[in-house]
Structure 1
Amino acid sequence: SSLAQGENVYLRGFGSFVIKKRAQKTARNISKNTTIIIPEHNIPSFKPAKTFLNEVK
């Protein structure tokens, strides 16, 4: 629920869940040969903590 509200979540020793913004871009619909505009939107992202990466390795 925190990510849905735009807040980042940090878990010490595990990693962090952050919200990143994807920029607006144009895409093509190949079957209809048209271009569409994909608006700017937010996506969740995970970055593992250094201690977690070392334990897994």
Structure 2
Amino acid sequence: IRDLHRQIASLVNQVHRLTQENAELRSNVVLTTESPPISAELPSRQSPRKDPTFP
């Protein structure tokens, strides 16, 4: 029983570490993937949209 408790405690610790790492990775991915494309895509998307709509 003691061994099981130790294993469970270690697993819980591992899960907490993994969840924290995943949260950090997700926040980093969101910052790296969302911010640059938005600034890069907005001007490129606006110009082609304006060209066909005006004529």
What range is the shorter-chain TM-score in? under 0.3
**Higher radius of gyration, 1 or 2:** 2
Greater relative contact order structure (CA < 8 Å, 6+ sep): 1
More helix by share: 2
